[in-house]
Amino acid sequence: MDLHGLQVTWLGHGTFKLRTMAGKSLLIDPWVQDNPACPADQKQVGKLDTVLVTHGHGDHIGNAITVARQSQPEQVIGVFEIATWLAGKGVQNTLGMNKGGTVDLGWVKITMVHADHSCGILDGDTMLYGGEAVGYVLRFQDGFSLYAAGDTNVFSDMRIIGDLYHPSVAILPIGDLYTMGPREAAYAARLLNISSIIPAHFGTFPALSGTPAALRAALSELGLSQIAVAEMQPGQSLG
C-alpha cells in the first residue's frame, strides 16, 4: 500500500492518527481515552496540528474536548453545528465548514464531503442537532489523496468523490449494523476507483461483525481482488 510517506496509525474503531514525513500530525475522530479498542500506550496522542470530526456520535466525538485541551491543535474542524457546539464547550481554534468546502492548511487541503449517516450529539440526557455526518478528502502537497469516509453507507455520489479528487486510498467502515458492511464497502471501492482500503469501525463490539477477510471476499465477487485491504490491529501503523 503506497501512502507516499504518510504514516497512518489505527487507534481502534473509527479513530486514526496521521503523520506526514515533515512531522505534521492529524487526528480523525477523537475517541481515544474512552475507546476500549485503543491500546493503553496510545491514549495520550501528543501534540496535534489538526483534529477532524466526522459526526457527533459519542464513539467519534467523545473525547474531543479532552484531546483539544491536551494536544492544542491549530484547527479542530467539523461541520458548522458541531464546531459551534465544541466552541461552546471551551474548545479553542474550531473551524466550522460544510460539505463541498475546502480548507487549505498549506501542508494539506481538506475537503468536506457527504456521508450517509445520522449525527445527533448526546449532551447529558439531551440529543442535540449536530448538522449532518461528513467524510473528508485529504490532498497532500505531493499529489497523494486519501478519502476518510467516516461512518456511512455506500452512496452513488462516491463516484463523484472519485472523479473529482482521485483518492488512491480510502478509510472505509466495514462493521455493519451502524455503518455499511463488507459487501457495501466493496461496492463503494468500485465507485471510488481506489487501489487500497484501510478498514475501520469493526471489531470494537460484537455487533460490529464485518471483517477485512469478508471485505476481500466481497471485492473478489465484484472482480476487484486487485484492491489491497490492510489488516491492522489497534495501535498498528502503516507507512
pLDDT in tens, 11-40: 999 999 999 999 999 999 999 999 999 999
Question: CA 13 to CA 27: how far, in whole Å?
Answer: 13
pLDDT in tens, 145-176: 999 999 999 999 999 999 999 999 999 999 99
Note the pLDDT of residue 156. 98
Note the pLDDT of residue 126. 97
Question: CA 12 to CA 39: how far, in whole Å?
Answer: 8
Q: Residue 8: phi, psi to the nearest 5?
A: -120, 120
Question: CA 227 to CA 219: how far, in whole Å?
Answer: 8
pLDDT in tens, 219-237: 999 999 999 999 999 999 9
- Is residue 77 within 8 A of residue 105, CB to CB? The reply is no
Q: What percent of the chain has pLDDT over 70?
A: 100
Give the cell for residue 68: 483539544
Count other C-beta atoms under 10 Å from residue 209's C-beta.
15
- Is residue 99 within 8 A of residue 87, CB to CB? The reply is no
Note the pLDDT of residue 26. 98
SS3 for 109-128, per residue? EEEEEECCCCCCEEECCEEE
pLDDT in tens, 74-105: 999 999 999 999 999 999 999 999 999 999 99
Note the pLDDT of residue 177. 96
Note the pLDDT of residue 61. 97
Strand 196-200 with 228-229, pairing: parallel
